Structure formats: structure tokens, C-alpha cells
């Protein structure tokens, strides 16, 4: 039975179990590491009998250690076989490091930037007249920080955030709500920090009207300008014409 257990610190590369007549034996190999350069990589092989670990090889120690009376005798025998010890010690570099490197390359190193959306909604209570929701969508991995700024300073009160919600497709989303009382001239921003972003992403809230309204006004204004130009042209033409007719 093979087991791949993905963890920042531990890859259980192999776990072999064997059960006969009520006896249960396991052989567990682990690659343990924290630093990304894998310098601290440790290879551990444990032999477990009826849930009791009897011997353990630890690559940092370089030999087997026994934990039960039977374990002591096996450890002693195995430690006297230098070729066998060297072969187990080599697994740290031949098995653990390539496996860990593969995990970094295929999973742990992957990051996806969030897509941000900032919108205004009706507040649920009447403590404050305004409420904003800052949403971050489709990011990976899970850890993220969403905060609110007023003129560059963090707002701590009246902020409610959801947990990071799993989209079930490896991506996550999160929503943060801010209830506030708008003041003229202030700048409210939503700031998102995530491993995929070299710098925090800051989104300023634009309190003016929504884009559709702005577009309507822009179309109306263009019509007005066009109308004014035509009217002016007509007036100039009329003036010229009437000036020409005069004696
Ligand atoms: C392996 O041995 C080192 C050095 O004694 C120790 O610090 C480490 O905790 C051991 N690891 C395990 C999993 O027993």
C-alpha cells in the first residue's frame, strides 16, 4: 500500500501494512522538511508492530534506534551492516529530495492571483448608512488577507469577513464587508495580500455613480455638444447669408 501525504513538512512516501491473525505490522517511510532548499531533509523509517514502534532509522542520526527489547536486538544487527545503513541513508537524497522537489514544482509552488470586486450594498442594520463588499475570487493557495483602508489607514471596526471558501476546484473565494459612514473627500480602499501578488493589491472605492449611469450621461452630453455645434453652424450660416442679402 503506497501513501502520498502532501504536507509542507512531511511526505509519507511509503506505508506498508501487513495483517495476519490479529498481528499488525507496518513499515512507514517519511521525508520530513521545512525549508524549500531541502537542506533540512530528514528520512525516517519506522517499523511498527501492533501499533508500537519498535525501531526507527533517522537519517540525521545515521543509524537505527530500538524502542523495545526486540527492537534493540534488531537495531543492533542492522547497525552492524554498514552497507545496508549506507543504502538507507542514501534514500534521503535519492528518494526524498526528488519527491519533495516534484511536490514543490507540481503543487506547493503554484499560485493564482485573486480577481477582485468591490461593490456597494444596502447595509443590513441602520448603524451606518453605507456598506461595501470586497470579494476576492479564484485564488490559490488558501491563505489570504483582506483589509480596509480609509485614506491609507487600516479600518478595524465594523469589518466582517467570511472564511476562505473552497470552490472545490482548488480555488478559493473570500468576502469582506465594511459598514461605514461616508465622509466627503475620504478615500476608502480594499487591500488584498496574497502570495501570488508581489505587492498588496489596493482597490479604491469610487463612490460616484455606476458605470451604466455614467455611460448614459456621456451619451446625453455628446448629443448636447453635437446639437450645439449644429445649432452654431446654422446660426453662422444664417448670419453670413443674411449679411450677403443686405445692400
Ligand atoms: C532525528 O534526529 C534528530 C537528531 O537527533 C532529531 O532532532 C529529530 O527530531 C529526529 N527526528 C525524528 C522524526 O525522530
pLDDT of residue 222: 87
Q: How far is the CA of 74 from the centre of ligand 1 (A)?
A: 20
DSSP-assigned states of every residue in 32-82: E--STT-TT-EEEEEEEETTEEEEEEETTTTEEEE-SHHHHHHHHHHHT-H
Looking at ligand 1, which residue's alpha carbon is closest to its atom 12? 58
pLDDT of residue 211: 60
Return the ligand 1 atom nearest residue 32 CA: 13
pLDDT of residue 240: 85
pLDDT of residue 8: 46
In the chain, pLDDT over 70 holds for what percent of residues?
90
Return the ligand 1 atom nearest residue 59 CA: 1
pLDDT bucket at 113, cuts 50 / 70 / 90: very high
pLDDT of residue 146: 96
Query: Does residue 170 carry a pLDDT above 70?
Result: yes
Q: How far is the CA of 177 from the centre of ligand 1 (A)?
A: 46
Q: Which are the contacts of 116, defined by CB distance < 8 A and separation ≥ 6?
A: 134, 135, 136, 137, 190, 192, 201, 203
Mean pLDDT of all residues in 149-169: 93
pLDDT of residue 14: 67
Quick check: helix, strand or coil at residue 127?
Answer: coil
Q: Do the domains 7-108 and 115-204 sit in the same CATH topology, yes or no?
A: no
Looking at ligand 1, which residue's alpha carbon is closest to its atom 14? 58
- Residue 109 and residue 104: Cα distance in Å, rounded? 5
DSSP-assigned states of every residue in 180-208: E---TT--EEEEEE-TT-SS-EEEE---S
Could you tell me the residue ranges of all domains in the chain?
7-108, 115-204
pLDDT, tens digit, 9 for 90 and up, residues 58-100: 999 999 999 999 999 999 999 999 999 999 999 999 999 998 8
How far out from the chain centre does Cα 127 lie? 33
**Ligand 1 first shell, C-beta below 6 A:** 42, 44, 58, 60-61
pLDDT of residue 18: 76
pLDDT, tens digit, 9 for 90 and up, residues 31-41: 998 888 888 99
pLDDT of residue 1: 29
Looking at ligand 1, which residue's alpha carbon is closest to its atom 8? 60
pTM check: above 0.75: no
pLDDT of residue 104: 84
Pick 115-204's CATH classification: 2.60.40.10, 3.40.630.30, 3.40.140.10, 3.65.10.10: 2.60.40.10
Average pLDDT, the chain: 87
| Range 7-108 has CATH code 3.40.50.720 | no
pLDDT, tens digit, 9 for 90 and up, residues 213-241: 667 777 888 888 998 999 999 888 888 88
Amino acid at each position: 500500500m503506497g501513501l502520498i501525504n502532501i504536507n509542507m513538512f512531511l511526505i509519507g512516501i511509503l506505508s506498508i501494512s501487513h495483517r495476519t491473525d490479529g498481528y499488525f505490522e507496518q513499515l512507514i517511510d517519511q521525508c520530513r522538511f521545512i525549508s524549500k532548499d531541502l537542506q533540512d531533509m530528514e528520512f525516517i523509517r519506522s517499523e511498527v508492530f501492533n501499533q508500537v514502534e519498535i525501531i526507527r532509522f533517522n537519517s540525521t542520526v545515521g543509524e537505527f534506534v530500538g524502542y523495545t527489547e526486540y527492537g534493540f536486538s534488531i537495531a543492533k544487527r542492522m547497525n552492524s551492516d554498514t552497507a545496508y545503513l549506507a543504502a538507507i541513508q542514501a534514500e534521503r537524497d535519492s528518494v526524498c529530495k526528488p519527491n519533495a522537489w516534484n511536490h514543490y514544482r507540481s503543487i506547493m509552488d503554484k499560485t493564482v492571483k485573486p480577481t477582485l470586486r468591490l461593490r456597494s450594498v444596502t447595509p443590513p442594520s441602520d448603524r451606518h448608512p453605507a456598506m461595501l463588499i470586497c470579494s476576492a475570487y479564484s485564488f490559490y493557495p488558501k491563505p489570504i488577507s483582506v483589509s480596509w483602508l480609509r485614506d491609507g489607514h487600516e479600518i478595524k471596526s465594523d469589518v466582517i469577513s467570511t472564511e476562505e471558501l473552497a470552490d472545490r476546484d482548488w480555488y478559493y473565494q473570500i468576502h469582506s464587508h465594511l459598514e461605514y459612514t461616508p465622509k466627503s473627500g475620504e478615500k476608502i480602499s480594499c487591500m488584498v495580500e496574497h502570495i501570488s501578488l508581489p505587492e498588496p493589491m489596493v482597490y479604491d472605492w469610487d463612490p460616484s455613480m455606476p458605470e451604466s449611469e455614467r455611460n448614459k450621461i456621456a451619451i446625453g452630453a455628446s448629443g448636447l455638444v453635437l446639437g450645439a455645434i449644429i445649432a452654431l453652424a446654422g446660426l453662422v450660416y444664417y448670419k453670413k447669408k443674411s449679411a450677403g442679402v443686405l445692400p
